[in-house]
Amino acid sequence: MNPRSYWRERSKSLLLNGKISYLNPGKIERQSILTSLINAREYAGCKLLDMGCGNKPYESIFSDVADKEIGIDLPISKSANKLEKQADVYGSVLKLPFKSHSFDTVLSTQVLEHVPEPKRMLKEAYRVLKKDGYLILTAPMTWGLHEIPDDYYRYTKYGLKYLAGSVGFEIVYIKARCGFWGVIGQRISSWVYYFRGVPKSLIGEGIKRSLCAMIQAFYLLLDKINKDEGETLGYVVVAKKGE
**What's the pLDDT at 114?**
96
CB 176 within 8 A of CB 219: no
Backbone angles phi, psi at 92, to 5 degrees: -95, 140
Enter the DSSP assignment of 17: G
**What's the pLDDT at 18?**
63
CB 50 within 8 A of CB 63: no
- The answer to the question of residue 33 being in a domain is no
64 and 10 within one domain:
no
Q: What span, in angstroms and rounded, lies between the C-alpha atoms of 40 and 62? A: 10
118 and 96 within one domain:
yes
235 and 131 within one domain:
yes
- For 176-218, what is each residue's pLDDT tens digit? 999 999 999 999 999 999 886 666 666 778 888 999 999 999 9
144 and 111 within one domain:
yes
128 and 13 within one domain:
no
Tell me the pLDDT band of 242, cut-offs 50, 70 and 90.
Answer: confident
In this predicted structure, the answer to whether residue 7 has a pLDDT above a threshold of 60 is no
Tell me the pLDDT band of 70, cut-offs 50, 70 and 90.
Answer: very high
65 and 113 within one domain:
yes
Domain span holding position 206: 1-28+184-227
In this predicted structure, the answer to whether residue 68 has a pLDDT above a threshold of 90 is yes
- The answer to the question of residue 34 being in a domain is no
pTM for the full model? Answer: 0.87
**What's the pLDDT at 82?**
54
162 and 211 within one domain:
no
CA distances from 14 to 7, 33, 37, 53, 194 (A): 13, 11, 13, 15, 20
Tell me the pLDDT band of 14, cut-offs 50, 70 and 90.
Answer: very low
**What's the pLDDT at 77?**
55
- The answer to the question of residue 161 being in a domain is yes
Tell me the pLDDT of the chain averaged across its residues: 88
82 and 19 within one domain:
no
In this predicted structure, the answer to whether residue 5 has a pLDDT above a threshold of 90 is no
Across 6-10, 138-142, 209-213, 224-228, least confident range: 6-10
81 and 147 within one domain:
yes
- The answer to the question of residue 83 being in a domain is yes
Q: Residue 227 contacts by C-beta under 8 Å, 6 or more apart in sequence?
A: 178, 179, 180, 181
CA distances from 223 to 37, 138, 152, 179, 182 (A): 19, 20, 28, 6, 6
Residue percentage of the chain with pLDDT more than 70? 85
DSSP H or E run through 73:
strand 68-73
- The answer to the question of residue 150 being in a domain is yes
**What's the pLDDT at 6?**
44
- The answer to the question of residue 35 being in a domain is no
Q: Residue 169 contacts by C-beta under 8 Å, 6 or more apart in sequence?
A: 122, 126, 135, 239, 240, 241
Q: How many structural domains is the chain composed of?
A: 2
- The answer to the question of residue 53 being in a domain is yes
CA distances from 209 to 4, 13, 166, 186 (A): 10, 15, 43, 13
- For 120-173, what is each residue's pLDDT tens digit? 999 999 999 999 999 999 999 999 889 889 999 999 999 999 999 999 999 999
- For 79-111, what is each residue's pLDDT tens digit? 555 545 678 999 999 999 999 999 999 999 999
Torsion over CA of 58, 40, 20 and 32, rounded to 10 degrees? 120
In this predicted structure, the answer to whether residue 54 has a pLDDT above a threshold of 60 is yes
Q: What span, in angstroms and rounded, lies between the C-alpha atoms of 189 and 211? A: 8
Residue 243 vs residue 34, higher pLDDT: 34
**What's the pLDDT at 203?**
73
- The answer to the question of residue 74 being in a domain is yes
115 and 16 within one domain:
no
207 and 102 within one domain:
no
Q: What three-state secondary structure class fits 166?
A: helix
Enter the DSSP assignment of 223: H
119 and 210 within one domain:
no
DSSP H or E run through 234:
strand 234-241
Helix then strand then coil, % of the chain, to nearest 5: 35, 20, 45
Tell me the CATH number at 91. Answer: 3.40.50.150
